[in-house]
Copies of this chain bind each other. A is one copy, B any other.
Amino acid sequence: MQADSRPVIGIIGGTGHLGGALAKRWAAAGYRVVLGSRDAGRAAEAAANLGGRVSGLGNLEAAASADLVVLAVPFGSQQATLEDIRPACAGKLVIDATVPLMPPKVMRVQLPAEGCAALRAQQVLGESVTVVSAFHNVAAHRLAMDGPVDCDVLVFGDKREAREQVIELAEAIGLRGLHAGSLANSAAAEALTSVLIFINKHYSADGAGFRITGIGG
């Protein structure tokens, strides 16, 4: 595949832990990445630290200049951020990585009224946008280090081809992505994050994840 045929990835919340780690890996895999932040200056600074193929802009501009958009913001900012970038998302794939953690009780599963954060994203963005959710369970600090990450990526969405695209993006950075069903199923992975935080604490671990078993591969 030629580098030029690859999509430009806009990462909203690109100065955060997860967004930054994803950016680093995709850039290393040869993708062009645009970091978005509410503060364009901070985005540009973070991009400069990541090297040549990464740039930084305000959130709306980052979404507008990308072929596909990754949302990696705290749950409390999800709705407002989606409303900000909505004008730039029509017709695009939006990959929502939002996990409904509600501090201070981040070890307790608290799913939103819509059922899950991914369904909320779809509601806010409207039907002109294809929402897929993924990357809920990968520990950001593990992703930020070089080397393998021992965690699968469950990929949710109502369109199989869109899920497939996200699975390719996961594989490009060394993660196994798996078709995991409709967007509503995102509740499972979103809830699992609180469970993994609990497990990290209970077992004094530093990056619990999971692997799906029994499917070969």
Residues of A near any B CB (own CB < 8 A): 107-111, 115-116, 139, 150-151, 154, 178-182, 184-189, 191-192, 194-196, 198-199, 202-203, 205-216
Kindly report which residue of chain B lies nearest to residue A191, judged by CB atoms: B188
A180 contact set on B, CB distance < 8 A: 195, 198-199
Instruction: Contact check, A212 vs B216: say whether CB atoms are below 8 A apart.
Output: no
Instruction: Contact check, A109 vs B195: say whether CB atoms are below 8 A apart.
Output: no
Give me 14 A-to-B residue pairs in the complex whose CB atoms sit less than 8 angstroms apart, sorted by A's number. Answer: A109-B115, A109-B116, A109-B186, A111-B187, A139-B214, A185-B191, A185-B194, A185-B198, A188-B188, A196-B212, A209-B212, A210-B213, A211-B211, A211-B213
Tell me the minimal C-beta distance from A95 to chain B in angstroms.
18
CA distance A151 to B210 in the complex (A): 11
Copies of this chain present:
2
